[in-house]
Amino acid sequence: MQAPRFRWHIVVFLAPAVLVYTAVMIFPLFNTLRLALYSEIENVRVFVGLDNFKSLFGDPLWSKQFWNALGNNFWFFCIHMLVQNPIGIALAAMLSHPRLRFAALYRSAIFIPTILSFVIVGFAWKLILSPIWGIAPSMLKAVGLRSLFAPWLGKEDYALTALSLVSVWQFVGIPMMLIYAALLSIPDEILEAGEIDGITGMSSFWKIKLPLILPSIGIISILTFVGNFNAFDLIYTAQGALAGPDFSTDILGTFMYRTFFGFQLQLGDPNMGSAIASAMFAIILIGVCFYLFAIQTRMRRYQL
């Protein structure tokens, strides 16, 4: 019997994707992890083991900034989980109502911010929130609530929350669309069966739809997590790479950018940048593994 012919076409089909993906994504990823173990001493790259991580977590010069950025990043993520995803689910629930008119119009309008560039979003919100020539102060004044206005982007206590909410405003369309699709795929028979048992209105959402869309909510949570922990663009466009005021909006992405490339008077340090990238990698990996093994496996799925 002849040995089966080697199927070259499989190689041809796989090669371009595997090559590009390996060379531009996987290899640099591991190379970055490797670079984190080196340091530049007098223009020579030398192996220093875990020294970079020691200074990142322990040396006050670095660790203060690192823990600040990490803490801020968690707060950024919390706001997305607590505000963006519930609003997205609520909007999707309303939009998926079978007899709602103008649903397509609402859907498109609410999705528009998601397709906008960060540059426009950052600029528009600065135009609205600026205490000097902003729209928000004069609008609040018009309704007699000027005293409620505070320079939200300028004070350490509020700036991060304000920017997180801007980011929520921009991205609420994504959970909305995913949940909307999940809700539409629930067969009418199930809802009708519920109606016969007297489950209507709000309780049909809580008791029938919500359990059915839980897997989608899980996916949205992990997407939010990954997206938030490598966010950069909005902070950079609104507050610059220094993530002012006084680093109160600094997150891991902006911290890595400053460290890696240098900014203004700070010199760039690619090895320290790699160390921060490795820390981000570890955080994202832990989050994803937690989701895959602790949450997804326990989530009950229903056959529709």
Q: How far apart are CA 127 and CA 274, in angstroms?
A: 35
Work out whether 88 is an interface residue with another protein (CB under 8 A): no
Taking the complex as a whole, how short is the minimal distance between the CB of residue 15 and another protein, in angstroms? 9
Burial of 238 (0-12, 13-18, 19+ CB in 10 A): buried
Work out whether 230 is an interface residue with another protein (CB under 8 A): yes
Contact 88, 172 (CB under 8 A): yes
User: Which one of residues 63, 68, 114, 161 is an interface residue with another protein (CB under 8 A)?
Assistant: 114
User: Which one of residues 47, 201, 297, 300 is an interface residue with another protein (CB under 8 A)?
Assistant: 201
Cα-Cα-Cα-Cα dihedral sign, residues 139, 145, 151, 157: negative
Q: How far apart are CA 285 and CA 101, in angstroms?
A: 43
Q: Which of 271, 203, 217 is nearest to 53 (CA)?
A: 271
Taking the complex as a whole, how short is the minimal distance between the CB of residue 51 and another protein, in angstroms? 17
Work out whether 130 is an interface residue with another protein (CB under 8 A): yes
Work out whether 13 is an interface residue with another protein (CB under 8 A): yes
DSSP-derived letter for residue 295 is I
217 vs 229, beta carbon nearer another protein: 229
Contact 271, 278 (CB under 8 A): no
Work out whether 236 is an interface residue with another protein (CB under 8 A): yes
Q: Which of 297, 254, 292, 301 is nearest to 273 (CA)?
A: 254
Three-state SS for 133? coil
- Cα angle 30, 284, 248 (rounded to 5 degrees) comes to 110
Site string for another protein, 55-84 (x = CB under 8 A): ------------------------------
Work out whether 10 is an interface residue with another protein (CB under 8 A): yes
User: Which one of residues 267, 294, 300, 303 is an interface residue with another protein (CB under 8 A)?
Assistant: 267
User: Which residue in this structure is represented by tokens 């059915």?
Assistant: 212
160 vs 280, beta carbon nearer another protein: 280
Work out whether 124 is an interface residue with another protein (CB under 8 A): yes
Helix (H) or strand (E) holding 17: helix 8-21
User: Which one of residues 49, 58, 184, 192 is an interface residue with another protein (CB under 8 A)?
Assistant: 192
* Range in contact with another protein (rule: CB under 8 A) among 57-65, 77-85, 267-275, 294-302: 267-275
User: Which one of residues 57, 74, 75, 261 is an interface residue with another protein (CB under 8 A)?
Assistant: 261
63 vs 130, beta carbon nearer another protein: 130
